[in-house]
Amino acid sequence: MISAVRWHGDAVRIIDQTLLPAEYREIDLRTLDEVAEAIRSLRVRGAPAIGIAAALGLVASLRPFLDEEPAAFRARLERHAATLRTTRPTAVNLAWALERVLRVARDHRDTSNRGPWERMRAEATAILEEDQELCRRIGEAGLELIPDRGVVMTHCNAGALATGGIGTALAPIYLAAERRRVVRVVVTETRPLLQGSRLTAWELQRAGIDVTVISDNAAASTMPRLGVDLVLVGADRITARGDVANKIGTYGLAVLARHHGVPFYVAAPYSTFDFSIESGDRIPIEERSAEEIRRGFGTLTAPEAVPVFSPAFDVTPAELVSAIVTDRGVLRPPYTESLRVLAAGRAASRG
Ligand code: MRU
């Protein structure tokens, strides 16, 4: 299985996802600027993966400053974390992972920087390793939702490229294939940055899984035509009432699924839940550069200087979500109830 983000010595090694599928290239990130740029420009992307990249990147970026005076080092640590936190605002995993690493440093003050830094490094590694386990558990929980010879529609990329493991929405698909069950995946290309056609199609094809790409605007007619049994997507943030922020276009698919009587499922680890907010309208939605629309992949695709509005995510109201597949099982509506149990479990483990 591919590794979207991992340690390589003291550097963070990622697959540069802006180059896929034309070129597979791994790059090493060491400085704060390199890590922040890689997250902003989607070289590494997907909610769990950007949390992991930020955690590992924070630790890597501090490596050259271990000899600094401890007070200056601690101030630098907070500055680096603040910079990384603002790189992408919607996926709550980013702030969650940074907070976990910061908490370790704050709890272990020392006269030297080496001890706290090593503890931060261990915590960042634990976040990566834990995510591998979370993905597998999501996969196992989600298997029951996929019928034999099922046709699954997905959007964007919530696979191995988006996590530390086998993905969230794609995890049950990988496990079904591992058990030699036949599954067909229909993936929307996911404009404007094409994570569906560039990334999901690439990783599923590589794994020998039957995958078909459709343009985003073919989704409505494709649902009945290709016999889609279920829609299964990832998430960037899920609120206490079960509203789901995910890649722009997800909300439209949820409406289409409801119209066609197809179940609409969301898969996410506990690190994607934000219990501090009730309603999805409080989720900050990232807006991307107009150039990504006007000049798609370098070609003029709209008149120069035409006004563009480019939200990267939308919010699907809980009412359209048939179930949420988590590392702690499949949650059903009403989510205010089922998520309370998840929140209690997370508080108990200080996650
Ligand atoms: O802008 P991206 O590519 O980071 O958006 C990714 C998504 O919307 C994914 O569906 C989500 O992060 C879940 S990844 C397991």
Tens digits of residue pLDDT in 249-308: 999 999 999 999 999 999 999 999 999 999 999 999 999 999 999 999 999 999 999 999
Q: In this predicted structure, what is the pLDDT of residue 15?
A: 98
- Which range among 25-39, 77-91, 102-116, 309-323 shows the weakest confidence by mean pLDDT? 102-116
For residue 178, the domain's CATH number is 3.40.50.10470
43 and 127 housed in the same domain: yes
Say if residue 106 is in the same domain as residue 146.
Answer: no
Q: What total of structural domains would you count in the chain?
A: 2
CA dihedral 203, 209, 213, 217 (to 10 degrees): -100
Q: Is the CB of 17 under 6 A from ligand 1?
A: no
166 in contact with ligand 1, CB cutoff 6 A:
no
Q: Ligand 1 test: best mutation among 40, 231, 246, 266, most atoms within 8 Å of CB?
A: 246
Task: Residue 68: name the closest of 119, 114, 124 by CA.
Answer: 114
Do 164 and 283 share a domain, yes or no? yes
pLDDT at 202: 98
* Statement to judge: residues 38 and 180 lie in one domain: no
**Same domain? 159 vs 68:** no
**159 and 249 in one domain?**
yes
Q: How far is CA 49 from CA 135, 181, 202, 320, 321, in A?
A: 12, 28, 17, 26, 24
Looking at residue 79, which CATH number applies to its domain? 1.20.120.420
312 lines ligand 1 (CB under 6 A): yes
- pLDDT > 90 fraction of the chain, expressed in percent and rounded: 95
* Residue to substitute in 43, 94, 195, 315 for testing ligand 1 pocket (most ligand atoms within 8 angstroms of CB): 195
Tell me the CA distances in angstroms from 315 to 127, 320, 321, one per residue in order.
26, 11, 11
Instruction: Find the 45 Cα to ligand 1 centroid distance in Å.
Output: 7
The reply to whether 101 and 57 lie within a common domain is: yes
User: Which amino acids are annotated catalytic?
Assistant: 236
Q: Whose CA is nearest to atom 15 of ligand 1?
A: 158
Cα separation, 70 vs 18, in Å, equals 38
pLDDT reported for residue 344: 83
Same domain, 120 and 9: yes
Looking at the structure, tell me whether residues 75 and 192 fall in a common domain.
no
Q: Write out the residue range of the structural domain in which residue 117 sits.
A: 5-136
Structural domain ending residue among the three candidates 85, 118, 136: 136
Query: Which of 116, 136, 156 is at the close of a domain?
Result: 136
pLDDT, tens digit, 9 for 90 and up, residues 78-120 = 999 999 999 999 999 999 999 999 999 998 878 899 999 999 9
Ligand 1 pocket, 194 CB below 6 A?
Answer: no
Last residue of some domain: 136, 152, 179?
Answer: 136
Closest among 241, 236, 240, 218 to 228, alpha carbons compared? 218
pLDDT greater than 80 at residue 162: yes
Please report the pLDDT score of residue 345 as a whole number.
75
Strand-pair partners of 247: 313
Answer whether 234 contacts ligand 1 (Cβ < 6 A). yes
Average pLDDT, the chain: 96
Q: Tell me: do 189 and 142 sit in the same domain.
A: yes
Co-location of 44 and 182 in the same domain: no
Nearest CA to ligand 1 atom 10: 234
Please report the pLDDT score of residue 110 as a whole number: 80
**107 lies in the same domain as 181:** no
Our mutation pick for probing the ligand 1 site, out of 15, 93, 156, counting the most ligand atoms within 8 A of Cβ, is 156
- Give percent above pLDDT 70 in the chain: 99
- Residue 66: phi and psi, rounded to 5, are -65, -20
pLDDT band at 11, cuts 50/70/90?
Answer: very high
Residues 217-237 have a mean pLDDT of 98
71: Cβ–Cβ under 8 A, 6 or more apart, which residues?
none
